[in-house]
Amino acid sequence: MQAPYPPLPLNELNRQRLIDTHPCLIEGNSDSFLDEVVKIAALYFNTPICLITVLDRKRQWFRARVGTDLQETPRADSFCAYSVAIGASVEVCDAQQDERFRCNPLVTGEPGIRYYAGVPLVLEGGLVLGNLCVIDTQPRPPMSAADMAMLQQIGRLAVTRLEEMRTAAFIDGTTGLYNHAKLDEDISEAIEKGDSPLAVAIEMVSPAQLNDMLKSLGFQFLTDFTLSVKNTLRSLLPASWELYKISALRFACAVPGDQLDQAKAVFATLIEAFGKPIHCQELPVLPQIGIGVLRLEPGAVPEDWMRLIVCAADEARLSGQGWAYYDEQMDAAQQRSNRLLNDLADAVRADDQLRLVYQPRVDLHTGVCLSVEALLRWTHPTLGEISPTEFIPLAERTPLIHAVSFWVVNSAISQIKAWRREGVDLKVAINVSAEDLNNDHLTDEIVRLLARNELNGSCLEVEFTESALVGDFSVVITQIERLKAMGVEIAIDDFGSGYSNWSYLRDIPADTVKLDRSFMDDLQPGKRDWNIVRALISLARELGQRVVAEGVEAEHTLRVIRDWGCQEAQGFYISQPLEAGDLLPWLSRCSFATSSSELA
């Protein structure tokens, strides 16, 4: 015969939500105060076993115990579940004679419970967390009223400590503010009361800025800066707006539903205040504030609402809006970005998703193609073709870019080796990110792969954009010089579109400057790009660097840049990027006309 399943309390969902948001209540670490409580109860009632229990969905956890090695039991076997269900004390004088428990495995087996007395642990707000119970392996007569009062009093001691633990779990240690768990509970309570609050996330810096601050200035500076931000926020927010700290330099507010009209004015005040540097340890730090807002309505609260306001805050910061309501389309774009990042990690390890295509680059005076640019393509197994303009910037924000770059280098060198076997000697240009030049990992990999394939470095050209030069310039130069020493050629890609610091052209031993494709869109006399392109070509040639134009799509453009001294070009007018198997046939039939007589 199976023992009956204990009943559920009417407020079980709220009770369980409390436990979910406070893992400290069921964690395995012992608490010295609660350990003393069960010892006192066992000694006073002269019982071999005393427990402080917490009822989870399917388990009964022993938060403190004496007289047993067990740390938990199935909820179905729990005596305490009956006390939790009714919110009152339960006493069982002889479990073998009680229909509820006579078949219970804790009665028929170890520890052989015969007597049980438990009192509910009722937290502030009326939720019953579990029980304080004393257990004997022999039957006992009913407790006296005085003894039951004593058990209840000891139970209240346990509740006091559990409330302290619960409160401590709500506090952010750095600022003393309530944390995300408390925000979640307060929003839930407001919704249950019929309010329609605004949930607001306030992001103070970008993840990259936070990382740079930590690496360059240390934890103490970050702590002091966080406290400065907290104090400024507190001084600017209405007193009725509770302030929370939900992650590193990300704060939040719960705005009462009757104060929505003033919210926009408050947001404007915050954006203005944090548009100026905050001085910390005598150093100015300019925040990058973003405020995300979501109105929550009773009966229509998304489970992941906290993620949604963080998403909105991030978008408001990136877009420069300052503050923004959550938008489903924006969220869908961010979720797609997260999916692509996760799937790209798998794609790097797969055999059939990533591939390189090759765009020919020709000499504008001979028409000869001596090099190609390797361009990465990704065929997602379910989403189809993903543009590199979408997934490469995502990868560059994470360490995943290194794995992608390693894949590109390995594939390019393998292709060069294959072409050499067919008697084709082509230089392959590969693109590397700024992060790839901030350490020696990629350079080491290029050295290793060239040696393994018995290739000279002159078969490769490494392209990087000007943004790579903004970090630790000495480290970048070291990597460039190592590559140059192997014979690898160096190209500055998209030149003129970024920082355009002319000193870089003088200080970097680059062989080639590649003009940004945006200059080629409308190259006409009298237009601004006309003078810029001519000046860039002249400057690069004066410094002894080869000039390559990207994105050439018209014969007119080709004539102009060649007459100004540009030596090479690539673009759709010459050829679109080709699969590896299509490149050699293209070379064999290529009759690209670029001689002076043919274009005159």
pLDDT, averaged per 10 consecutive residues of the chain (600 residues), comes to: 73 84 76 94 96 92 93 92 92 94 93 96 88 96 96 95 85 88 87 89 86 84 91 92 90 89 92 90 88 88 87 87 84 83 93 95 90 95 93 88 94 95 92 86 93 94 76 80 92 70 68 86 79 86 88 89 92 93 87 44
* Residue among 372, 71, 18, 303 at smallest CA distance from 181: 18
pLDDT at position 26: 78
Where would I find the H helices in 433-527? 441-452, 473-485, 502-507
169, 201, 234 — which closes off a domain? Answer: 169
CA distances, 472 to each of 209, 431, 476, 477, 482 (Å): 16, 19, 7, 9, 16
Q: How many CA atoms lie within 13 A of 300 on its CB side?
A: 7
Q: What span, in angstroms and rounded, lies between the C-alpha atoms of 574 and 360?
A: 8
Residues 184 and 299 in one domain: yes
Q: Given 115, 143, 169, which residue is the final one in a domain? A: 169
Same-domain pairing of 279 and 137: no
Q: Is residue 101 part of a domain?
A: yes
How is residue 371 written in tokens? 């090099």
* Listed residue (594, 552, 587, 598) closest to 571, CA to CA: 552
Q: Clarify whether residues 295 and 409 are in a common domain.
A: no
CATH of the domain at 203: 3.30.70.270
Q: Which two tokens stand for residue 216?
A: 């360059």
DSSP readout, 79-124?
SHHHHHHHTS-EEES-GGG-TTTTT-HHHHSTT---EEEEEEEE-T
Distance CA 382, CA 388 (A): 17
Q: Are residues 461 and 584 in the same domain?
A: yes
Whether 253 maps to a domain, the answer reads yes
Q: Which amino acid is at 369?
A: C
Position 246 in a domain: yes
Do 295 and 343 share a domain, yes or no? no
The verdict on 94 and 65 lying in the same domain is yes
Q: Are residues 240 and 364 in the same domain?
A: no
List all residues 6 or more positions away from 42 whose beta carbon is below 8 Å from its beta carbon: 48, 49, 50, 66, 67, 134
Domain boundary among 277, 298, 326: 326
3-state SS class at 33: helix
If asked whether residues 270 and 349 sit together in one domain, one would say no
What burial letters (b/e) apply to 512-522, b meaning 16+ CB within 10 Å? bbbbbbebbee
Report the number of distinct structural domains present in the chain. 3
Residues 160 and 213 reside in one and the same domain: no
Q: Give the pairing type, strands 49-55 and 128-136.
A: antiparallel
Half-sphere CA count of 168, side-chain side, radius 13 A: 9
- Domain holding 102: CATH number? 3.30.450.40
3-class SS of residue 566? coil
Give the CATH number, domain containing residue 487.
Answer: 3.20.20.450
| DSSP-H helix ranges across 486-600 | 502-507, 528-542, 555-563, 580-589, 596-599
In a domain, 217, yes or no: yes
pLDDT at 2: 57
The single residue listed with the structure tokens 């770059």 is 405
7 in a structural domain: no
Q: Are residues 321 and 359 in the same domain?
A: no
Report pTM.
0.58
Note whether residue 580 is domain-resident. yes
Residue 456's domain comprises 337-599
Local structure of 71: helix, strand or coil: coil
pLDDT at 333: 78
State the pLDDT at residue 3. 61
What pLDDT was estimated at residue 593?
43
Q: Is residue 531 part of a domain?
A: yes
CB 490 within 8 A of CB 454: no
What span, in angstroms and rounded, lies between the C-alpha atoms of 217 and 210?
10
What are the CA-CA distances from residue 288 to residues 174, 247, 291, 314 (Å)? 21, 16, 10, 10
Classified as helix, coil or strand, 547 is strand
Q: Is residue 307 domain-shared with residue 376, that is, in the same domain?
A: no
Same domain, 316 and 345: no
Other residues' Cβ atoms within 10 Å of the Cβ of residue 122: 16
- Interacting residues of 475 by C-beta distance below 8 A, sequence separation 6+: 437, 438, 439
Question: Does residue 2 belong to any structural domain of this protein?
Answer: no
